[in-house]
Chain A
Amino acid sequence: MKRIKRAPWALSVVLCLGCTGNLDGAGTPQLGASGAAAGGGAATGGAGMVGSGGAMSFAALSPAPAVMARLTQAQYRNVVRDLFGVTFTERELELDTRPYNFSVIGASESHVSERGVSLYQVSAHDIASHAFSEPAVRARLVPCLGTALPDSACLGKFVADFGLRAFRRPLKDAEVQRYVALGVATGMGEPWLGPQEIASAMLQSPHFLYRVELGETAPEHPTWSRYTAYEMASRLSFLLRNSLPDGALLDAAASNRLSTAEGVRSEAERLLADAAPTHTMVDQLFREYLDIPLLAAVNFPADAGMPGSLAVSLGNEVSSLVNRIALDDRGDMRTLFTSRNTVVDAPLAALYGLAAPAAGTSAAVELPIDGPRAGLLTTGAMLALHNRLNRTAPTLRGSFVRQRLLCGTVPPPPDNIPPFPEVDMGAPTTVRAKVEAHATNPTCNACHRLMDPIGLGLEEFDQYGRFRTEYENGLPVDNTGDLDGAPFKGARQLGELLAKDERVSACLVKQMYRYASARLDDGGEEGLLAELSSSFAASGYQFQPLMLALVQSDGFRYFKPEAP
């Protein structure tokens, strides 16, 4: 974590001012700007990047150091599958961690444990033995090897070919010799053991387990390092395919076509045009961004007609919503917050009070124009995620909108939380009444006003995402809320406000940049992020042009060299 240049505590200092009242200070999110038309950004800058595909010059960019991300569980499995052309049974690996939402960030920050390395050893051994026990697989992997004693020339060819894909770069002579020697030594009795143990060793090498990025000198930027063509092939492939580079990418690297923004663009366009893996990428990005994995921990009451599979249905709805807008429709990503078109299965239809499609099927539906639902905020997934177990938690819902969607910050609570005023339990009350008590206490309200007024506007949905007009005790639901001075009633109106809010689109850009970089954004990249946001606006807020602009940007292609 020490690479986070703009230390989080520096941020807190700024935002603490926000808590004591100065919400309009420099450096804080511009509250009250939510009504500003986001389209205003379209005229400024960035158009050239999207239109021509040429690299922008980011005069303000100070690139961040490279990170060495370990493969995530999903990447490890994908790479092994692509490397051997075999789908293996899943072997246990060290758990991914997800600091700042993304497992790739955990993979670049965490240190592997002894048990993690031990699991790598067992996995590598099992995978290699399994693959080389299949005559067809081993004949495909090592066509030159006969039954004779170890054949160094043939082993050398295997090491070069297999190593190119396992390490995502050509091996150096010394490396080839090292692995051939291993194959000769271990293949004395049974020739197949040679390549098998070579493969096992490669699967445990740091060049396989980590995305090693050493870079090269960049004549065009003498103080920067440029990712090598092979490193760029991997960066594109792990971002867009979550796996190792395919043959065409390796060819592009070999012919040095990935050292320019144009070359990167051309390969990225090719990869994005492949629908299935691109859907998977969008799915992975947004599931992590929106905390969909946490839905598995929500206990839906079966006796209220909500099957345990509802969590899966809810996650799938978000996936289909995001994928449709981002890829199928090539639409404006801001309509994520307003769209009335979604896909439901039977459990979800029941939750939403819609006619159910046939069991086991899903159907595209248009939500009623006068209904309470439209867009991401009204999906069961978003509504069921941020609650206490038996009731809604407007503070948590508001915190999600503030932090995750607006990329705002909420300062930490006091060390010992001051107690709530006693509520007279004799009289029926509501969650709203309890939460609004924060507003009567200036100490609480300094920070709670960043969260509560947003979340209170979502009270029309209960903790499972069901629409309601009254609480269980019969008291009516009040769905009024406020987003930084803009009043609204209910989730749909909040969605309209968020769709127009420049902070939301800038936040999506920032989250995508973090996902692509496998690290937090660095203080020196603010100018670049602003440029990307402008180009996002210029493209009509489309996903693919943003992704193309991102991978061509200097921040994705250069890094700050570190003294070894």
Chain B
Amino acid sequence: MMAGKATRYGLVLALLALMPNHPAVAQQPIIIGSPLSIGYLYGWDAERGIRLAVEEINAAGGVRVGEQRRPFQVEVIDTRDLEPGVPVSDALLAVEKLILDKQADFIIGGPVRSEAALAAMSLLSRYKKVSIVTTGVLTPRYHTLIKEQYDKYKYCFRIHGDALSLVDEIFENFSALQSRYGFDKLFIIAQDVSHARDAARLMERLAGERGWDVTGVEIYPTGTADFSMGLLKARRTEAQIINIWMDMPESAILLRQWYEMRIRALPFGSTLAAAEQPGFWSATDGKGEYTLSNVVNAGNAPSEATPWTMRFYNAYHERWGVEPEGLGTSSSYMAVYVLKDAIERAGSLDPDAVITAMENTDMMGVYGRLRFDPRSHQVIRADNPADGAVGSILQWQDGKRVVVYPASIATGSIQLPPWME
């Protein structure tokens, strides 16, 4: 009898010993649904950022919800919305599946393509799911819609910059190049997708207003594999800067062609996914040198923006064996921490309470001080990480991604290729 009792106690003790230390793990998880186009950089880097943050938070005891501590759990569905020819409806199905099938409490990540993210807004409202867009989605229409129809779209937040802020940052650099080298001719090349077309039109208009001579605008369909005629137009019109808005893989061809043809115009891209990746240098045998790319947030390239920046940078490298890769990496990571902070302050998972808490977010993160505009739910940008979320523009120099903007976090300055000097 005693032996039986001892065995039972032993079993119970063994079970208790096997249980993890943190009581959070025993609680029902808070499910983060992530609709991401994971075949593409802006999808897989976001997934890695989210998973890293979730692992860190869970290891530290999870999320405090009232009196309980609960872990995060990530459910990812591939929306494929960055792939050419995949209809927006597929991305919507992915979001709906996350909500209905995977029982997601919150949505973090995408959809990644602006068109799909805009279409998903109504869906998120219908199911009252608080969402933080962290990657892709650069259209200003996103936060304008939230501002215009707050009651309907209040569930949506965006934690990275939009095309307008990218354009502002790029123009600041253009002005610097103008005063330093006397540049005044600009050629624009964009991919035939919503955010890139809009940004190209905006660039063209603003450049004209600011005294730049826009010598041409070329919109290339997704999947184009030859850019020679566009580059020759830039050459013929003596453009000094080629502004590129292109996230398709074939942009690597454009940059190689630019290098091989020795075009006397500096390639200055935004959402230039090919040039954002750390492997770009070896993939192009160094033929992408001097390419500039706006990677939207600090932390997607090495800098000392905040004490958290390199800590995140190193943690990401250690976890995934690669440096943070581009747009969507640091923002996706931070979105999980912002959500954790909001839930803890709200003390519940109630959407309205979490929304109010998110609107009052004020925390330092990987790319500076994180706050949302309470009406448009757009993250507040600044030039200095102490004041707001800072962007980051890098240039490939001698095999390294050197941050050249903003000045508050820059680790180098813009260099011209030898054939332009």
A and B found bound together: no
Task: Please report A residues at the B interface, Cβ cutoff 8 Å.
Answer: none
Task: Please report B residues at the A interface, Cβ cutoff 8 Å.
Answer: none
